[in-house]
Structure 1
């Protein structure tokens, strides 16, 4: 299945190349002429940190990632403007297909990443980056996890079509585009070793989350799960924080001369989890406040 998605991404890349390449050239030329030293430094960083698997995986070009991210943000802005004077669009079947696909894909990624980690003898934490040919299978699964973040953009587009603008919050948009960029970097630098834990854990969370969304669209919501989804996500962020903290201590101070997992993705994970915990904690408090207000209003009727 993972090979199917790799071929799909390659095919899309070939089809879109005549349209994407001119944009890429404009971005490169603009950046190089405006900030030549920055451009040269970025090229050097990319070359020095590149995983040996990068050239065998599609959608690894950083300019393509930038174009997709800009496209996501522009689609939200333009879409909200277009929908402002139109009736909301019925997206029931689109939502069913979208949520079902992500439940299925998330379950597949959780199982395959976990199985491959078990097969390769990974420990819970402190797994070094495997740059050998045997590590390529895990790299493909991690690539799929990164690629799946594009599918999750549909969450926002459905909200735009339904005119649920209150759901298109800073947290929602920030989380969707930032996680896509971060997982591109993880896949580009080290798509093996410690990358497995976050990918497997996040996929497990998404099985529950998109499963709940699917049940809601099908009008059979599993209501008791709703309030636990955010707690489940925050538990995930806390575990990722523990992982990053352990790895920093293990690879930097306990065994600094051992073959390790790159420090860059680890420290990014550590800082990013702090932002996620803060934003999701704020969302959780506000959501519980709205729920209590709704219950109070219902009782007073």
Structure 2
């Protein structure tokens, strides 16, 4: 196994270039095999899980969901603060920032980005909760694609470009996840659900972050600073796949909500009309009933 990992790493470094030595020895980073194996296991559970739960009652998981979502809210808050403060104190350039010009800030960003990578493994639990609660309609191609790819992409990012221009996407995504997991945590408390009016804005917020990331990544191509442009081009391409998929999801959800609203109004109208007809018929029968 050690020989396989060495050969595989040699091939990666031949094609991509040498890894950043500053992250050598960090948990899960030395070899790609654990990240790949965990992703395959995730996809296997996604495939087998709904079949296993098909004839079984759904689990509530309310308490676990609350703990999980609060935990991820706090982790996202920590990552956002660490990344934003490091970029601020290190005088990071929003247009383009290389990976070696702010040593202290770079180390802080690296540590935060490792947690960001690891958080993508934790977020596999999103799907597992859907399976346990039998919310299979939420296990879409978009959901699986996003979760599986992010965990793998960030293994490469943290190994090769663990600071500098890489900070922006993770920073803004951590902010979005603060809002998102806070919403999910509150929605697991039934008494709070009527007050969560901002659910419909979550997808819009995600689309805004993708567009901002595209703009910020493009600036590093237009005004280069030594940050690898091919990584930036890959990020822009990946962001466009998410923009397409999330936009499609947004309009499908919008269409579904409009259909539900029309159906609700029609049902209310039919119900009111039925009551009116029944009442009128009852009055007519009473008026024609012979007196005794």
TM-score range, shorter chain: 0.7 to 0.9
**Greater Cα offset, 284-293 or 81-90:** 81-90
State the shift of 1:196 in Å.
Answer: 1.2
Matched residue, 1:271: 237
- The yes-or-no answer on 1:170 pairing with 2:141 is yes
- The yes-or-no answer on 1:51 pairing with 2:20 is yes
CA distance in 2, matches of 1:40, 1:115: 35
**Greater Cα offset, 181-190 or 170-179:** 181-190
Equivalences, count:
262
Deviations 1:52-99 (A, max 9, x none): 222142111211111111111111112112111211112111111111
Matched residue, 1:191: 162
Aligned pairs for 1:101-250 (under 5 A) are 101-130=71-100, 133-134=103-104, 135-219=106-190, 220-221=192-193, 222-250=195-223
State the shift of 1:40 in Å.
Answer: 6.0
State the shift of 1:39 in Å.
Answer: 8.3
1:39 and 1:49, CA in 2 relative to 1: closer, same or farther beyond 3 A? closer
Matched residue, 2:252: 286
Q: CA RMSD in A?
A: 2.0
**Greater Cα offset, 104-113 or 77-86:** 77-86
Tell me, which stretches of 5 or more residues in structure 2 are unaligned?
A: 268-292
Matched residue, 1:100: 70
Matched residue, 1:87: 57
> What's the TM-score once normalised by structure 2's chain length?
0.84
> What's the TM-score once normalised by structure 1's chain length?
0.82
State the shift of 1:132 in Å.
Answer: 7.2
Q: Which runs of 4+ in 1 moved over 3 A?
A: 38-41
CA distance in 1, matches of 2:10, 2:186: 50
CA distance in 2, matches of 1:117, 1:196: 8
Tell me, which stretches of 5 or more residues in structure 1 are unaligned?
A: 1-20, 33-37, 252-257
